[in-house]
Chain A
Amino acid sequence: MVRKHLLVLAIGGIILAGCTKKPPPPPPPEPVVPEISEPEPPPVPAGPSEAELRRQRIAQRIAEVVKPVYFALDQSTLTQDSRSTLSAIGDLLKEFDEVSIKVEGNCDDRGTDEYNFALGERRAKAARDYLESYGIAAGRLSTISYGEERAAMTGEGDDVWSKNRRDEFVPSY
């Protein structure tokens, strides 16, 4: 222990010694440094900008309202719950013009891959169409189907399958 302390002290001593021994070489750079540091004061306000505040509000609203909607087996019909989720997402899109949404359609892993790609697409489009009918410009909405490739949960059984038959919403802004 004692030795370590001594070592630390010794290293500190060397660093200090190194600092104090500067005088001979630095003369030329010295005058340049203080001149540059003068214009720094302006950013003193320190709080986020208006744009940043808006982005924070968007992120907060997204966290509140954007969540997956779920479907019945081999169905792409929106349930009452799904419609209210989508309406909330639609309100968010109305509130913030700069946000656009990618709808990702997904299926459980029963049925074949090819059919599930088409079914996932249909599910994504069901949500896209709802948002469009809610008054969101088509240009702010896009769709992709991942079929059964991106399961939210792995395994078998109704609990797993029902969690995988879903649309997910990926906002960008």
Chain B
Amino acid sequence: MSLYTKPVKIILSLLFLLALTGQTVAQDVVITSEQSTAEMVVLGMLEFQSQSDETRSLPVPPERVIGYDLSFSGRFKIFDAISADSAALGYFRRNGALAYLRGKYNLDGDQFSLECELIDLESGDLILGKSFKSKKSQYRDVAHKFSDDMVYQLFGEKGIAQTRIVYVTKRAGNKQIYAMDYDGANVRPVTNNKSINVLPNWLEGKDKVLYTSYLSGYPNFYVADIETDKNSLYLKSPGMNSSVHYNPIDREIVYATSVEGNTEIYRRSMDENAKSIRLTFSPSIETSPTWSPNGYEIVFVSDRSGRPMIYVMDRDGSNLRRLTYEGSYNTSPAWSPKGDRIAFCGINDRGLMDIMTIGPDGADPIQLTGNSGSNENPSWSPDGRHLVFTSTRKGQAELWVMDANGTNQRRISFSGGNSMPRWSGY
């Protein structure tokens, strides 16, 4: 069999296995009793070979970054070993792996290089090989790039390993906007002023952030460019302006403002000289507007029933309907990128908040957190497979991530006083 046909066959067989029933997969691949493993690709992972002592200055070796990415994606189950001897390969095989990863990396001054290979466990043939070069400071980025290449090769979908999370952190008594990689690394400031900066949201991709700041004394919208560190005023109007959310399809924002007295929801094109269009008309509070992924609808919070609850309306304000009835306080809605679920949080009977998801038609509510402090502000990963949120379960408010069904909850921030996370696009 030639090297050219083999990779295709392996990839097809991996995909084929995914399409099969749990029973068949269990026979061929899985030896553990974990239910979720049935949908996973099992991989061996060898420790990558360092080509020089200089690489010791890297905080963690690149395969650790890749290993975290692949495990986090929920698509891979990884078994680690040191070197490709028969014991390691046998260990991989016994655990149901069809292929394994190996790699080399080097650091020469500021120049980082990385070679990664996915090898067919049976034949030893190369399935996927990639090499990267970057500055030392960006070595995690290229490792993440390889993780996303793996997801794309094997699943035909974009991975989230190169995404970012923007959030609010309390530093020296002030609230500032910060950004981090999705795995909690590369924490960096987005704002650095003496004012209150809150409610960040991604503008386009993962470089620009819209946020609310009291910089001028009153809350207005600003744009920050993470790469250039530039911050500029975007929209200023009298009253309380907050909760801005961008829709990249129509290049429009939706936001809440009390410019006409009561807090209502408005829509506005990003074009210069665009006019704001008012969408709600009610003496109650209307806030937290968030676009549906296709830009047709807006989910928001209103207390028109007497208590804050989740509502949905069309982009022009018509066709309004109430989504949640349970509990006494539901807020912070976030529409999943796939469109099939809306995450929100509600106050439980202990006076703390928990995160739930519900169908856009109000059907099938599922609670994702419980008995673990206050859990707020859910935001979806761009592939809709994960959520980031704030939790006080360990005392201080920190950022946590979980799978869309509530499993695999893990903490990604450790400095205390972190909140309002928003996951970037790809």
Contacts and interface: CB of A to CB of B under 8 A. Distances in A.
A120 B198 CA distance: 15
A146 B345 contact: no
Given A111-B329, A112-B377, A144-B218, A119 B285 contact: yes
B301 A149 contact: no
Interface residues of A, number: 19
Interface string A106-129: 000011111101111110000000
Contact of B285 (A110, A113, A115, A144): A115
A91 B329 CA distance: 38
B351 A118 contact: no
Given A74-B308, A74-B329, A145-B240, A114 B288 contact: yes
B258 A114 contact: no
Given A121-B263, A146-B196, A149-B196, A115 B240 contact: no
B109 to A, nearest CB: 45
Interface string B328-356: 01011000000000000101000111000
Contacts of A122: 263, 285
Interface of A: 74, 110-115, 117-122, 144-147, 149-150
B307 A74 contact: yes
Given A111-B329, A113-B419, 13 more contacts: A110-B374, A112-B376, A113-B199, A114-B287, A114-B288, A117-B287, A118-B240, A121-B263, A146-B196, A146-B214, A147-B242, A149-B175, A149-B196
A146 B242 CA distance: 11
Interface of B: 175, 196, 198-199, 214, 217-219, 239-240, 242-243, 256, 258, 263, 285-288, 301, 303, 307-308, 329, 331-332, 345, 347, 351-353, 374, 376-377, 419-420
A110 B352 CA distance: 7
B350 to A, nearest CB: 11
A118 B331 contact: no
A111 B240 CA distance: 18
Nearest to A122: B285
B241 to A, nearest CB: 9
13 contacts: A74-B329, A110-B347, A110-B353, A111-B347, A111-B353, A112-B331, A113-B198, A115-B301, A121-B240, A121-B258, A144-B218, A145-B219, A150-B196
B347 A149 contact: no
Nearest to A121: B240
Contacts of A110: 347, 351-353, 374
User: When A and B form their complex, which 10 residue pairs have the shortest distance between CB atoms, in order from nearest?
Assistant: A118-B263, A118-B285, A114-B243, A112-B332, A114-B288, A112-B331, A117-B242, A121-B240, A118-B287, A114-B287
A113 B331 CA distance: 10
Contacts of A74: 303, 307-308, 329
A37 B325 CA distance: 81
